[in-house]
Amino acid sequence: MDGFHPVSHVVVVGRSNIVGKPIANMLVQKEADADATVTICHSRTKDLPSITRQGDILIAAITHVPGGVGPMTITMLLYNTLQSARAAGG
Q: What is the CATH number of domain 9-65?
A: 3.40.50.720
Asked whether the whole model's pTM tops 0.75, one would answer: no
Tell me if 51 sits within 8 A of 11, measured CB to CB.
yes
What's 69's DSSP letter? Answer: S
Q: For the stretch 22-34, what's the b/e string if a residue is b when 16 or more beta carbons lie within 10 angstroms of its beta carbon?
A: ebbeebeeeeeeb
Domain ranges for the chain: 9-65
Q: Residue 38: what pLDDT?
A: 95
Tell me if 9 sits within 8 A of 15, measured CB to CB.
no
Please report, in tens digits, the pLDDT of each residue of the chain (90 residues total).
455 565 689 999 999 887 889 999 999 988 877 889 999 999 899 999 999 999 999 998 776 666 666 777 778 888 888 998 898 886
Alpha helices, DSSP H, located in 1-90: 20-28, 48-54, 70-87
What's 88's DSSP letter? Answer: T
